[in-house]
């Protein structure tokens, strides 16, 4: 009986002892777990912020790369830089024969002169048109000294025969060392005049360059651009180009290709310059000709803060658990006074609290800094976008669309109203104020809005609807008349200058691009272009306000 009672008394004591040990184990476990979880969450937030910052830095870097590719793929900016470097290279060469042309003669014609305008022998330069080119150079030198100097009938003929239009002389004289587009003059070429230092003791010299835009292979420029950037950027990046009008025409660096689904996404209009697609970062930049340059790379792994923290926990938690199990299983008591135990527990708790507070403060400051930086960036972007509205360069996508519509009108079996239907939709959505397509007589083949009476009487298109038709007619006639070598821009029978604050030659010079035109004091951004046949004759005029 005595043994049985003793056993019954010992059983509750053992149970209470195990409960106490288990409670002690849980207490110490929570004492470690709660700070560990808190610190882990804080570190995770910091790691995510660092990853987002790194991702944004990568997108900014890729945006610079694609912008540079767009400059290399754009004929105007590419050949401007190419010819400039070519002109500078003469200074360091020992002879003109050491300088080679960067393009074939079908694309790039170059004429080298000494300081007096006499042609110099150069294997990569043109060998024909010697007398004509020297006469052209002499006129150019005279216009540089006296810009208001008039041209004789013979000089007009020489200039028109050598360059395609006598007005190229004034354009080059006003813009030395600058690639000038002559598309507004109806000539599908660029021109440039550079002053340079010739090799050896030859002294100063001149270089005239003509670039035949019809012979330029824009896909080749785009391919060369992505290959050049790929060599500089390294293997982590993939670069590609894509024709926005025909997305099946594209190219990619390496042995990759663009999947059908990705091609549809990348050809979408209005894409942001940088974005994330699944686990890939993508940056894009478009050329005025409608070629999209693309850069991509895999998302970089985040900083290994959490990985290092988990590695630390893997080492410390098992040691702590084994210690507690050993202490419990073998009934090991650590002879520590209650005061010492309280001090250790309080000290550990206080230390954990300080660590949590410290990491939380760092995370808050980091998040606040990122928020402020993001706000400043957003404000800066808004300011830049507002400023960009005053520059036609910010309307590259619009120019590309308008040029595409004008090109579609040539030899089209569809009616102008069907081809230009996107303009009617844009006008209804108030994206444009007015659009018309008229013939040489000023008759409208298409106009949006179709009924001017439905518009406010104070609107530009209502006040000057008929005048716009007349201006379009005058522009067509002026362009066709300027094909003659003896033509001079003098006549203004409709008073175009008084109507638009721009002479006809000014409107033509900026053809196929956006230009500011003032209608009776109302300034507006306008696009105009001509439909020109294979005989270099204009038949119709597209006018968009």
Q: How far apart, in Å, are the Cα atoms of 172 and each of 83, 134, 157, 379, 409?
A: 15, 15, 17, 40, 32
| Planar angle of CA 96, 101, 102, nearest 5 degrees | 140
What is d(CA 69, CA 221) in angstroms, rounded to the nearest whole number? Answer: 9
In tens, the pLDDT along 23-40 reads: 666 666 666 677 777 778
Element (H, E) at 517: strand 514-519
What band does 334 get if pLDDT is binned at 50, 70 and 90?
Answer: low
Each as own residue / partner, the long-range contacts of residues 399-403 (CB below 8 Å, 24 or more positions apart, any chain) are 399/288, 399/512, 399/513, 399/514, 399/527, 400/244, 400/286, 400/288, 400/289, 400/290, 402/527, 402/529, 402/542, 402/544, 403/288, 403/512, 403/529
Contact 49, 367 (CB under 8 A): yes
In tens, the pLDDT along 452-497 reads: 544 444 555 555 666 777 788 888 888 877 665 444 444 444 444 4
What is d(CA 357, CA 323) in angstroms, rounded to the nearest whole number? Answer: 28
What band does 499 get if pLDDT is binned at 50, 70 and 90?
Answer: very low
* pLDDT for res 398: 77
What is d(CA 479, CA 458) in angstroms, rounded to the nearest whole number? Answer: 31
- Please compute Rg for the chain using Cα positions: 37
Contact 424, 448 (CB under 8 A): yes
Average pLDDT rounded to a whole number, residues 177-191: 82
Question: Which of 490, 446, 444, 449 is CA-nearest to residue 470?
Answer: 444
* pLDDT for res 14: 53
pLDDT at 347 over 80: no
What is d(CA 282, CA 291) in angstroms, rounded to the nearest whole number? Answer: 16
List of residues 6+ apart from 401 with CB closer than 8 A: 422
pLDDT at 85 over 60: yes
Task: Write down the residue that tokens 């800094």 correspond to.
Answer: 369
The 10 Å CB-count burial string (b at 16+, else e) for 133-168 is bbbbbbbbbbbeeeeeeebeeebbbbbbebbbbbbb
What is d(CA 452, CA 435) in angstroms, rounded to the nearest whole number? Answer: 11
* pLDDT for res 364: 75
List of residues 6+ apart from 344 with CB closer than 8 A: 336
* pLDDT for res 93: 82
DSSP assignment of 440-487, as one string?
TT--EEEEESS-GGGS-TTSHHHHTHHHHHHHHHHHHHHHHHTTSTT-
* pLDDT for res 341: 63
- Three-state SS for 306? helix
CB 120: neighbour CB atoms within 10 A?
15
pLDDT at 207 over 90: yes
Across the beta sheet with 108-114, what order do the strands follow? Answer: 108-114, 204-212, 189-197, 180-181
pLDDT at 397 over 70: no
What is d(CA 161, CA 152) in angstroms, rounded to the nearest whole number? Answer: 14
What band does 379 get if pLDDT is binned at 50, 70 and 90?
Answer: confident
Contact 256, 238 (CB under 8 A): yes
Q: How many helices (H) and strands (E) does the chain have?
A: 16, 14
- Classify 38 in phi/psi space as left (phi over 0), alpha (psi -120 to 50) or beta: alpha
* pLDDT for res 261: 81
Average pLDDT rounded to a whole number, residues 87-100: 84
DSSP 119: B
Q: What is the pTM of this model?
A: 0.58
In tens, the pLDDT along 239-296 reads: 999 888 888 888 888 888 888 888 888 888 777 778 888 888 888 888 877 888 989 8
What band does 375 get if pLDDT is binned at 50, 70 and 90?
Answer: confident
Mean pLDDT, the chain, integer: 77
* pLDDT for res 112: 92
* pLDDT for res 27: 63
């Amino acid at each position: 009986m005595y043994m049985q009672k003793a056993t019954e008394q010992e059983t509750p004591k053992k149970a209470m002892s195990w409960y106490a040990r288990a409670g002690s184990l849980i207490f110490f476990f929570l004492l470690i777990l709660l700070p560990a979880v808190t610190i882990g969450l804080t570190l995770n937030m910091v790691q995510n912020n660092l990853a987002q910052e790194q991702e944004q830095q990568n997108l900014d870097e890729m945006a610079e790369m694609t912008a540079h590719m767009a400059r290399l793929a754009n004929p105007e900016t590419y050949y401007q830089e190419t010819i400039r470097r070519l002109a500078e290279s003469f200074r360091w060469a020992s002879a003109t024969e050491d300088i080679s042309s960067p393009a074939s003669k079908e694309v790039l014609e170059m004429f080298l002169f000494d300081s007096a305008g006499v042609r110099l022998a150069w294997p990569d330069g043109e060998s024909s048109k010697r007398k004509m080119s020297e006469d052209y150079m002499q006129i150019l030198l005279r216009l540089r000294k006296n810009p208001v100097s008039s041209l004789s009938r013979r000089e007009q003929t020489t200039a028109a025969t050598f360059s395609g239009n006598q007005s190229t002389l004034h354009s080059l004289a006003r813009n030395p060392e600058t690639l000038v587009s002559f598309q507004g003059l109806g000539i599908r070429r660029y021109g440039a005049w550079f002053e340079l230092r010739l090799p050896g003791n030859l002294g100063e010299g001149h270089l005239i360059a003509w670039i035949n835009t019809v012979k330029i292979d824009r896909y080749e420029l785009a391919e060369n651009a992505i290959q050049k950037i790929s060599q500089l950027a390294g293997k982590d990046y993939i670069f590609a180009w894509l024709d926005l009008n025909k997305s099946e025409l594209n190219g990619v660096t390496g042995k990759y290709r663009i999947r059908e689904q990705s091609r549809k996404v990348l050809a979408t209009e209005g894409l942001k310059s940088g974005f994330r697609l699944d686990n890939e970062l993508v940056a894009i930049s478009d050329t005025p000709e409608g070629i999209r340059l693309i850069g991509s790379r895999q998302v970089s792994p985040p900083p290994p803060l959490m990985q290092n923290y988990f590695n630390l926990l893997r080492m410390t938690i098992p040691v702590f658990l084994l210690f507690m199990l050993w202490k419990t299983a073998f009934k090991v008591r650590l002879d520590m006074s209650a005061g010492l135990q309280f001090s250790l527990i309080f000290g550990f708790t206080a230390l954990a609290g300080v660590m949590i507070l410290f990491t939380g403060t760092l995370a808050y400051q980091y998040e606040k800094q990122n928020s402020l930086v993001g706000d400043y960036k957003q404000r800066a972007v808004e300011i830049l976008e507002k400023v960009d509205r005053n520059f036609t360069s910010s309307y590259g996508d619009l120019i590309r669309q308008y040029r595409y519509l004008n090109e579609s009108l040539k030899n089209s079996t569809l009616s102008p109203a069907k081809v230009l239907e996107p303009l009617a939709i844009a006008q209804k959505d108030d994206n444009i104020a007015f659009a018309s397509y008229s013939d040489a007589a000023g008759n409208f083949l298409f106009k949006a809005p179709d009924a001017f009476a439905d518009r406010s009487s104070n609107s530009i298109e209502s006040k000057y609807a008929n005048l716009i038709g007349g201006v379009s007619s005058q522009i067509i006639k002026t362009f066709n008349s300027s094909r003659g070598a003896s033509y001079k821009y003098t006549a203004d029978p409709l008073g175009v200058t008084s109507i638009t604050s721009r002479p006809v030659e000014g409107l033509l010079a900026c053809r196929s691009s956006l230009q500011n035109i003032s209608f009776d004091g109302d300034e507006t951004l306008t696009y105009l272009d001509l439909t020109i046949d294979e005989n270099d004759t204009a038949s119709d005029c597209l006018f968009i306000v």
